[in-house]
Amino acid sequence: MKKILTYGTFDLLHFGHIKLLERAKQMGDYLVVGISTDEFNMQKSKQAFHSFDHRKLILETIRYVDEVIPENSWDQKIRDVKEHNIDIFVMGDDWEGKFDFLKEYCEVIYLKRTEGISTTQIKDEIAGFK
C-alpha cells in the first residue's frame, strides 16, 4: 500500500483544496491529511474561521481523505512520516523546497497550486461584500 501525507489549515474549504486532495490521493492508496490545530495556528499568527474540530469533520467527509491527524508543530513531520509509514509527502508548490529535509524518509512532491483561488482571496472577497 502506498501512503501519502499532506498538511494544511483547510479553512474555508474551496475547489483548490479539493483538487490538491484529489491529486494527492491519485499518487497512492491511502491519504493522510494533517490539519493545523487552533493552537498551532495561533503560533503561526494565523486565525482560521472554522475550529479545528469543524475542519477535521469536513475533511473526514471528503472521499479522497482516508485519515485526518492534528498538526501541532512544525517539528512533527519526520515523526508523522515514520509513524504512518508514508511513501510520498505532498504540498503545494508555494512551499517548494521547504520540506526537502523529508527526502531522507520519503519522496517529496510539490504540486502546482490551483490558479484563481485561495483562502486569502475568499476572505478578502467576503470582506468586500460587507
* Residue where the block lists cell 492534528: 70
What 3-state class would DSSP assign to 78?
helix
Instruction: Judge whether 77 counts as a catalytic residue.
Output: no
Are 59 and 35 in contact, with CB atoms under 8 Å apart?
Answer: yes
Q: Which 8-state DSSP code applies to residue 50?
A: S
Indicate if 44 belongs to the active site. Answer: yes
**Cα(85)–Cα(97) distance, rounded to whole angstroms?**
22
DSSP letter at 9? -
Looking only at the bridges linking them, the beta strands covering 107-111 and 30-36 are unpaired
In this structure, the strands spanning 88-92 and 3-8 are parallel
Catalytic residue among 44, 82, 103, 112: 44
Active-site hit among 2, 25, 46, 82: 46
Residues with catalytic roles: 44, 46
